[in-house]
């Protein structure tokens, strides 16, 4: 066989191998899309399509039965001009204090204390007890706290027993304290989640950092702010994101504990959307409020994610 023929054969062999690799790559790509397709179909059916439908309904005046009438952005103008709807949105931002700020702060402090003091089997028991509210159905939690905060509930009985009977009241029926009382339920539900997540994050921090800080004479408070908090940037970001979304989209706890009362003192967007759509039969206005709520969630969450990711790259 001549040298030219051998060279040609080698080139053809390399070309054949390249073609085979390309076909295999294409096959792997198609295989990936095949495995991804069910999730994409489910996401389209249960997330994208309802979102598009809500946006479409928000542009109509519709009672859910008769022929819808085009009103354009009128429903959105109503959301931003109606004092009742604005107060409902304001309540959700007040709940951020109870559902997000307090659980994240307390979770960080409790986790730091548990890391130093509670270890071994006792630490496992403590983490389990703290996380239990997270696995309790919110409906059951709302019913239980209804009993605790009622006029003859456990809280008022304890206050009366220690000589503070003068401040007892129906906490969930009081115009001043109803919303903070709902917030306390949110703190109870979310504190365990934040604490356990912080503890997991602390286990990833290099112990050598704490040892070096102790050798340098740093106390517990200095360690907390110089090592623990910076080391938990990602975990804090996750906690804040989850709890802010829980505050803005609150429904179960409010519906079971107060149903938005007394008056509209604890009415939140999620419950208002439900009542507008299914009781008042104002589907268009309910859809507009739902779209506004989604935008508010994005406005609150996206800066948090940007800050966490930007800090992680530094």
Walk along the chain (314 residues) and give the pLDDT tens digit of each residue: 455 545 455 555 565 556 656 566 555 667 777 788 888 999 999 989 999 999 999 999 999 888 999 999 999 999 999 999 999 999 999 999 999 999 999 999 988 888 777 666 777 777 788 888 888 888 888 899 999 999 899 999 999 999 988 899 999 999 999 999 999 999 999 999 999 899 888 888 888 888 888 888 878 888 888 888 888 999 999 999 999 999 999 999 999 999 998 989 999 999 999 999 999 999 999 999 999 999 999 999 999 888 888 755 55
Angstrom distance (rounded) from CA 67 to CA 52: 19
Based on the domain organization, do 169 and 292 belong to the same domain?
yes
Element (H, E) at 69: strand 69-70
In angstroms, the CA 301 to CA 303 distance is: 6
181 in a domain, yes or no? yes
Q: Which domain holds residue 10?
A: 3-57
One domain for residues 24 and 98: no
pTM: 0.85
259 and 309 fall within a common domain: yes
For residue 7, the model assigns a pLDDT of 46
d(CA 137, CA 134): 8
- Pair (39, 104) in one structural domain: no
Cα 122 to Cα 230: distance, rounded to the nearest angstrom: 27
Instruction: Tell me, yes or no, whether 73 lies in a domain.
Output: no
Centre a 10 Å sphere on the Cβ of residue 130 and count the other Cβ atoms it contains: 20
Side-chain-side CA neighbours of residue 248 (13 Å): 19
Beta-bridge partners for 70: 60
Shared-domain flag, residues 110 and 208: yes
Which are the contacts of 16, defined by CB distance < 8 A and separation ≥ 6? none
Which residues are bridge partners to 69 per DSSP? 61
Residue 273 is predicted with a pLDDT of 95
Task: Check whether residue 26 and residue 91 sit in a common domain.
Answer: no
- For residue 70, is it within any domain? no
- Indicate if 49 and 101 belong to the same structural domain: no
Residues 94, 20: one domain? no
Q: Structurally, how many domains does the chain consist of?
A: 2
Q: Are residues 172 and 298 in the same domain?
A: yes
- 254-271 burial, b at 16+ Cβ within 10 Å, e below that, comes to bbbbbebeeeebbbbbbb
- Contact (Cβ atoms closer than 8 angstroms) between residue 263 and residue 175: yes
Q: Residue 150: which of 125, 179, 121, 172 has the closest Cα?
A: 172
HEC string of 189-205 equals: HHHHHHHHHHHHHHHCC
Per-residue exposure over 138-166, b if at least 16 CB sit within 10 Å of its own CB, e if not: beebbebbbebbeeebebbeeeeeeeeee
Is residue 166 in a domain?
A: yes
**In this structure, what token pair is assigned to residue 122?**
């006792």
Cβ atoms of residues 175 and 262 within 8 Å:
yes
181 and 301 in a single domain? The answer is yes
123 part of a folded domain: yes
Same domain, 161 and 214: yes
In a domain, 283, yes or no: yes
- Contact between 179 and 267 (Cβ < 8 Å): no
Residue 228 lies in a domain: yes
24 located within any domain: yes
For position 133, which CATH number holds? 1.10.3720.10
Both 86 and 43 in one domain: the answer is no
């Amino acid at each position: 066989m001549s040298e030219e023929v051998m060279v040609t054969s080698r080139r053809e062999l390399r070309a054949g191998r390249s073609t085979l690799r390309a076909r295999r790559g294409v096959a792997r790509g198609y295989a990936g899309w095949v495995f991804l397709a069910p999730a994409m179909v489910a996401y389209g059916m249960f997330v994208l399509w309802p979102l598009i439908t809500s946006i479409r309904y928000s542009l109509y005046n519709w009672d859910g039965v008769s022929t819808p009438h085009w009103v354009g952005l009128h429903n959105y103008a109503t959301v931003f001009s109606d004092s009742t709807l604005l107060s409902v949105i304001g309540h959700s931002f007040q709940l951020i204090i109870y559902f997000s700020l307090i659980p994240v702060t307390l979770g960080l402090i409790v986790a730091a204390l548990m890391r130093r003091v509670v270890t071994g089997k006792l630490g496992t028991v403590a983490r389990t007890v703290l996380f239990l509210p997270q696995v309790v159905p919110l409906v059951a939690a709302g019913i239980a706290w209804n009993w605790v905060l009622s006029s003859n509930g456990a809280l008022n009985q304890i206050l009366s027993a220690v000589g503070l009977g003068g401040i007892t009241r129906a906490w969930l029926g009081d115009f001043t304290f109803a919303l903070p009382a709902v917030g306390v339920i949110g703190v109870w539900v979310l504190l365990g989640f934040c604490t356990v997540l912080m503890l997991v994050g602390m286990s990833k921090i290099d112990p050598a950092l704490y040892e070096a800080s102790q050798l340098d004479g740093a106390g517990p408070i200095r360690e907390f702010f110089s090592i623990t908090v910076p080391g938990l940037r990602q975990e804090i970001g996750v906690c804040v994101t989850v709890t802010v979304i829980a505050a803005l989209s609150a429904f179960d706890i409010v519906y079971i504990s107060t149903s938005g009362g007394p008056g509209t003192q604890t009415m939140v967007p999620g419950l208002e959307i439900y009542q507008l759509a299914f009781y008042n039969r104002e589907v268009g206005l309910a859809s507009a409020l739902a779209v506004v709520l989604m935008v508010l969630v994005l406005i609150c969450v996206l800066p948090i994610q940007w800050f966490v990711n930007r800090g992680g790259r530094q």
